[in-house]
């Protein structure tokens, strides 16, 4: 089997549902044969390792460990789902303290064991601040670390496709930016439904409000329907992100990235922007939208600032002016 690269990929949290789905997706897409499964729970990660071996992927070189040094040493790519899962009734923000502490340790492991890593994708919630925490502690350049944000946009795409009875990929230019959560900003003023502007189609203000609500509650709805948080969709999208970073198909759904942009008016946060992930890392541009959309993005940014300031107050990351002491690239 031909692989995109032979570089070592580490899946953190590989014993869980998201992690195990990522391992299988990586091998099915032929990204790399060299995958290290890392988790702190040995029976779980051992079981995933056995199952992947039972799949008998040609050329696969899979290993597993509960030792951080063994896992991270020599890694060129990392995807981490290694946080606590969200449960029914919880917001992503409820996970803030515990998962940001996990993210800080994750970043330190990168700095100690694989400072030459090429790209890292963080997908455990609240992803905007866990990724920011990991970036500060890792010492990586901002374009080397991204967070999962695409699901908000794909959920919007699904809602619009169902509303108008079209195939999902016929909905284009409909995205969400800002925070990955209930504070996301929906940008659909340029959306096309099978080539027709959304603005020219029959859609009442009340129905549009319902669609936006269903988009922002997409993750919560999965928990209600399945009794557990999403795992197939985040696993697949995260793997597609790392595929772009490996030099495969560029990833063009919005991704969370570090933004410190005077022109944009957004400083020192991780947030979803119009992005592309390719072999040179993540690149973002400034969103363009209506006054209402830009106001929603500003509100989302202010919410991210508050979450960032909360983890500063908890001592998990230093004050903004001291970030350079931990990461010279910031």
Taking only the tens place, the pLDDT of each residue in 253-286 is 999 999 999 999 999 999 999 999 999 999 999 9
Predicted confidence (pLDDT) at residue 171 exceeds the cutoff of 80: yes
Q: What is the C-alpha separation between 33 and 44, in angstroms, rounded?
A: 21
CATH placement of domain 9-148? 3.40.50.720
Q: What is the rounded distance in angstroms from the CA atom of residue 260 to the CA atom of residue 298? A: 14
**Cβ atoms of residues 65 and 13 within 8 Å:** no
313 cis-preceded (ω within 30 degrees of 0) = no
Residue-wise pLDDT for 225-235, tens only, equals: 888 878 999 99
Domain spans of the chain, in order of start: 9-148, 150-229+251-313
Strands (E), 16-69: 34-38, 61-65
The order of strands in the sheet holding 171-172 is: 171-172, 192-193, 196-197
pLDDT tens, residue by residue, 197-255: 999 999 999 999 999 988 888 888 888 888 887 899 999 999 999 999 999 999 999 99
Q: What is the mean pLDDT of residues 105-111?
A: 98
- CATH of region 150-229+251-313: 3.90.110.10
Q: Which two tokens stand for residue 49?
A: 């390792």
């Amino acid at each position: 089997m031909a692989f995109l690269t032979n570089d070592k990929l580490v899946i953190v949290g590989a014993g869980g549902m998201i992690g195990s789905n990522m391992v299988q997706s990586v091998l099915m897409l032929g990204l790399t044969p060299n995958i290290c499964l890392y988790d702190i729970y040995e029976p779980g990660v051992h079981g995933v390792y056995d199952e992947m071996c039972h799949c008998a992927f040609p050329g696969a070189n899979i290993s597993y460990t509960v030792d951080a040094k063994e896992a991270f040493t020599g890694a060129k790519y990392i995807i981490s789902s290694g946080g606590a899962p969200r449960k029914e009734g919880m917001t992503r923000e409820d996970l803030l303290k515990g998962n940001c502490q996990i993210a800080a340790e994750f970043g330190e492991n990168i700095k100690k064991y694989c400072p030459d890593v090429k790209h890292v994708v963080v997908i455990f919630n609240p992803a905007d601040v866990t990724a920011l925490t990991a970036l500060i502690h890792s010492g990586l350049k901002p374009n080397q670390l991204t967070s999962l944000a695409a699901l908000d946009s794909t959920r919007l795409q699904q809602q619009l496709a169902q509303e108008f009875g079209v195939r999902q990929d016929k909905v284009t230019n409909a995205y969400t930016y800002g925070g990955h959560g209930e504070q996301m900003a929906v940008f659909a003023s340029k959306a096309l439904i099978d080539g027709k502007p959304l603005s020219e189609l029959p859609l009442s203000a009340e129905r549009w409000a319902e669609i936006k609500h269903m988009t922002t509650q997409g993750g919560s709805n999965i928990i209600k329907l399945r009794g557990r948080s999403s795992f197939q969709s985040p696993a697949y999208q995260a793997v597609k992100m790392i595929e772009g970073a490996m030099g495969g198909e560029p990833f063009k759904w919005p991704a969370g990235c570090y933004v410190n942009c005077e022109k944009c008016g957004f400083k020192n946060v991780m947030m979803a922007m119009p992005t592309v992930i390719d072999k040179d890392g993540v690149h973002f541009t400034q969103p363009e939208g209506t006054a209402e959309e830009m106001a929603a993005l500003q509100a989302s940014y202010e919410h991210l600032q508050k979450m960032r300031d909360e983890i500063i107050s908890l001592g998990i990351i230093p004050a903004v002016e001291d970030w350079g002491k931990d990461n010279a690239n910031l």
